[in-house]
């Protein structure tokens, strides 16, 4: 009898009792708006910013309504506007090019490697040919490129970097947290990210002028002195008259839910990585399957798992996805001809005017993706790995190895 997995790939762990108590306290006093404070009170949003700045090692932090809003705000603070070209990974999710397009700017996609990180050779070429002044670098699905090499390349070219860290809260490269390499780092606290407030985002930087603009853009009116992880007043004096209010604040209720989660982030990261390694171990040497190498410099967060059915025919990959689904294992396929749910690719974003990226297309054609929520036990991961191994192996063996180049 075949094993069937019965867990949910979209069920997150519950909010802690501490988070619930903090949220109830905000609901009871009713001061949800971040600037609606009692005399002498420091609001939850301001405290969250202070704590995340300390956690990440950044000088400044701003809490906002979403990760997408954080990215658009970072770009706008840098002066990106209508018609400007902005470089970004071809392997990312729709909110990244969406943040660029929301400013009237034009996404220019850079290829990705089989390690699922930005292709530095293609980046060097696009820097020369695109005329872009900014790279919105997506650490997509938690895969981190050689950040030393990338920053050397960008610094030499005068290209400013904004990091999309939606999938790397708690991750590092050579011991340095993501979000701390570029001029600004953007994080998401949407339900499926590493801290859960339903929706929300965090923006960090050491640059006083950029962060002053970001705070004003977020809708601080002239109440920026109520931020405790913000630049000094003189940074605002220089920009407050020419920076528009584009409201996107985080409220005190979501901040209250998030603060206890930050305190437990390291433990959660360890939990995700234990599950990731358990799946990885169970899938090693599966016929026809290519696992993604994780470099030693990368301190990743394994909240999702990616693998390649490299050069497989589309119908065989569809078969694997369908057969795994029938056994309770939900896979997302980035090579599907049509976008589905959260999964789409640069070719689906017609507003971006994508060019040809044949090497990237080859990677995406065989890319499978799977969430690993902390509600799964290690025993659950063993079951999932056995199902994947059986269905991938069976499809590979049929018709002489599925036509895959392994």
Q: In which region does residue 184 sit, left (phi positive, over 0), alpha (psi from -120 to 50) or beta (all else)?
A: beta
Mean pLDDT rounded to a whole number for the chain: 95
Going by their DSSP bridges, the two strands 106-110 and 85-89 should be labelled as parallel
**Domains defined for the chain, CATH in brackets:** 17-263 (3.40.640.10), 265-397 (3.90.1150.10)
pLDDT higher than 70, residue 399 = no
Percent of the chain past pLDDT 70, that is, above it, reads: 98
- pLDDT 10s digits, 326-340: 999 999 999 988 888
pTM: 0.95
CA quadruple 144, 145, 147, 153: dihedral positive or negative?
A: negative
Q: Which two tokens stand for residue 196?
A: 């859960």
pLDDT at 351: 86
Please give the share of the chain, as a percent, with pLDDT higher than 90.
92
Using CB atoms within 10 Å of the CB of residue 396, give its burial: 0 to 12 exposed, 13 to 18 middle, 19+ buried.
buried
pLDDT mean over 60-73 = 98
Cα 185 to Cα 162: distance, rounded to the nearest angstrom:
6
Provide the strand spans (E) within 49-96: 60-64, 85-89
Reported as a single tens digit per residue, the pLDDT across 182-207 is: 999 999 999 999 999 999 999 999 99
Q: What confidence tier does 342 reach under pLDDT thresholds 50, 70, 90?
A: confident
Structure confidence by residue, pLDDT tens digits, 274-312:
999 999 999 999 999 999 999 999 999 999 999 999 999
Give tens-digit pLDDT for 98-155.
999 999 999 999 999 999 999 999 999 999 999 999 999 999 999 999 999 999 999 9
């Amino acid at each position: 009898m075949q094993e069937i997995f019965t867990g949910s790939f979209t069920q997150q762990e519950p909010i802690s009792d501490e988070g619930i108590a903090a949220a109830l306290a905000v609901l009871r006093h009713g001061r949800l708006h971040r600037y609606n404070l009692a005399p002498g009170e420091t609001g939850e949003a301001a405290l969250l910013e202070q704590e995340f700045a300390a956690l990440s090692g950044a000088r400044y932090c701003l809490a906002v309504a979403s990760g997408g809003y954080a990215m658009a705000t970072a770009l706008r603070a840098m002066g990106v506007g209508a018609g400007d070209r902005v470089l970004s990974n071809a392997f990312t999710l729709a909110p990244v090019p969406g943040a660029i397009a929301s400013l009237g700017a034009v996404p220019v996609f850079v290829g990705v490697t089989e390690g699922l990180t930005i292709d530095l050779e293609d980046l060097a070429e696009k820097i020369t040919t695109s005329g872009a002044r900014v790279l919105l670098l997506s650490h997509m699905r938690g895969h981190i490129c050689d950040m030393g090499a990338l920053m050397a390349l960008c610094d030499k070219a005068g290209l400013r970097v904004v990091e999309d860290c939606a999938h790397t809260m708690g991750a590092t490269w050579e011991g340095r947290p993501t979000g701390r390499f570029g001029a600004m780092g953007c994080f998401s606290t949407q339900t499926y990210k590493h801290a859960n407030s339903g929706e929300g985002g965090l923006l960090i930087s050491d640059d006083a002028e950029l962060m002053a603009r970001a705070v004003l853009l977020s809708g601080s009116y002239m109440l920026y002195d109520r931020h405790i992880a913000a630049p000094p007043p003189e940074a605002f004096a220089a920009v407050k008259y020419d920076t528009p209010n584009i409201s996107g604040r985080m409220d005190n209720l979501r901040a209250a839910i998030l603060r206890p989660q930050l305190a437990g982030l390291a433990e959660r990261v360890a939990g995700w990585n234990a599950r990731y390694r358990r799946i990885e171990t169970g899938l090693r040497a599966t016929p026809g399957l290519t696992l993604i190498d994780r470099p030693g410099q990368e301190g990743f967060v394994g909240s999702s798992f990616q693998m390649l059915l490299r050069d497989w025919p589309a119908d065989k990959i569809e078969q694997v996805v369908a057969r795994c689904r029938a056994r309770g294992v939900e896979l997302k396929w980035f090579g599907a001809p049509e976008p589905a749910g959260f999964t789409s690719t640069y070719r689906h974003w017609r507003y971006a005017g994508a060019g040809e990226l044949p090497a990237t297309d080859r990677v995406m054609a065989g890319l499978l993706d799977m969430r690993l929520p902390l509600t799964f036990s290690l025993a659950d991961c063993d079951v999932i790995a056995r199902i994947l191994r059986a269905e991938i192996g069976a499809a590979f063996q049929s018709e002489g190895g599925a036509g895959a180049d392994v």
